[in-house]
Structure formats: C-alpha cells, structure tokens
A and B are shown apart, each in its own frame.
Chain A
Amino acid sequence: DQQVKQNSPSLSVQEGRISILNCDYTNSMFDYFLWYKKYPAEGPTFLISISSIKDKNEDGRFTVFLNKSAKHLSLHIVPSQPGDSAVYFCAASVARAGSYQLTFGKGTKLSVIP
C-alpha cells in the first residue's frame, strides 16, 4: 500500500512557464514533507521541505504548498528552466516519532522544453 503517491509519472512544460508537481499521502501521521530532485546516475538532491505546521514554504523559484485536510502537497517551479529537467520525488516522515525514515513516492519526470 503506497503511502505517498505521485500520480503523474511525467510532465512537460515550456521554458519560462510554471511547473506544478503533485503529491498525495494517506498516512495522517506524516508531519514533515520534502521534495528531492534526481538526475540520472546521481543521488537525490534535497530541494525544499515543509513542516505540517505550515501551509507554504518558498525558496527562490521553488514553492511547496501543503493542504493537510486534503493530504496533498505540491511543488511549484516558476519560471521553469531547462536545467530543471529531472525526476522529482516527494517524501514524507513522521519526524516527531524520532526515526525520520523517509517514505517516497515513485517520482515525476519533469521535462522543460526550451
């Protein structure tokens, strides 16, 4: 049973436009959420995170939105750049439980078209 779901395996966006990557979760115990970006043959790179006490966190071109009632989060990239083309993973943890193991979605492959 997948606790973190990324229902879109791929997404194509024109350069300069907004990219919106979505993630849904089922475990209401999750209280910390992260987005990672992964290029081929490299490990995931941390992008941005959000605690369940917030509903928005912004860092430069990247903004993560959290809707706890819907158990949904999204990553917005504005403006999208060709270098953003990668696989994006959503991850969640029950940080207050002290283990911090991350549960990942299967990823969304973003292609930014010049």
Chain B
Amino acid sequence: GAGVSQSPSNKVTEKGKDVELRCDPISGHTALYWYRQSLGQGLEFLIYFQGNSAPDKSGLPSDRFSAERTGGSVSTLTIQRTQQEDSAVYLCASSFHAETQYFGPGTRLLVL
C-alpha cells in the first residue's frame, strides 16, 4: 500500500514569507507526527496528533510554527515569517501501533 507522502519535496522561500508543508499519512493510521532535521543534527520532534485528542505541541520551537490535521487524516505544517534558521528537512510520520512510526520522504526547506 501507499506510504506516507509529503509535498512539496523541495521548497525555496525568502526570509519573512509564510510556507505550508503537507503530509498525507498512511491510510488508517491514527497518529501523525512532525519532525525536522537540521544540517548535521538528529531528528527533532515538533508536534504529535492522536485521533481527536488535543495535539502535543511541546516540540514547536516558536509561535511562528503551527500545524493542523483535518478530518483525522491530512496535516499541514505552517511556518510564518520564515527565518534562515528554519531551513531544514521537515519529516512527517504516521503510526497505527503508536510505538512504530513510518516516515515520509520529507520536505527540504531552504530560506534565503
């Protein structure tokens, strides 16, 4: 079956612009996660959605970052007023059995 998909695969934007990144989880997966990987770093947790529960936003680095998950499926990560330090690979993962997360290919964001 189809895996986790993300779009766009690459995004170049200017400092100060807003960007939206999209994630389509594996069908039937109830949990959805966003992570980012900056150059030379491990993956950093951003936000977690589980069913209809309130999301765990504890990893969001600033109030410029927000995410929503519509209808318990597709999720959008929005970064407002982008900064150069936001440049990273943004990865989405989904899971059914919550311990094992399956990742998408990521969106490579470059803020100039």
A-B contact pairs, 7 of them (CB 8 A): A41-B105, A46-B103, A93-B99, A102-B45, A103-B45, A104-B35, A106-B40
Q: Does residue B75 face the partner (Cβ distance < 8 Å to A)?
A: no
In the complex, how many residues of chain A place their beta carbon closer than 8 angstroms to a beta carbon of chain B? 25
Contact digits for B94-110, partner A, Cβ 8 Å, 1 yes 0 no: 01001111111110000
Q: How far is the CA of A34 from the CA of B4 in the complex (A)?
A: 19
User: On chain B, which size bracket covers the interface?
Assistant: 20 to 34
Contact partners of B41 in chain A: CB under 8 A: 106
Chain A residue with minimal CB distance to B40? A106
Q: How far is the CA of A106 from the CA of B41 in the complex (A)?
A: 5
| Min CB–CB distance A56 → chain B (angstroms) | 17
Contact, CB under 8 Å: A43 / B106 = yes
| Cβ 8 A contact of B99, one of A49, A89, A104 | A49
A104 with B42, Cβ < 8 A, contacts A46-B100, A99-B56 known: yes
Contact digits for A89-114, partner B, Cβ 8 Å, 1 yes 0 no: 10101010001111111110000000
| Cβ 8 A contact of A101, one of B40, B42, B59 | B59
Q: Does residue B77 face the partner (Cβ distance < 8 Å to A)?
A: no
Contact, CB under 8 Å: B105 / A106 = no
Q: Which of B56, B58, B91, B103 has most A Cβ within 10 Å?
A: B103
| Cβ 8 A contact of A95, one of B33, B99, B105 | B99
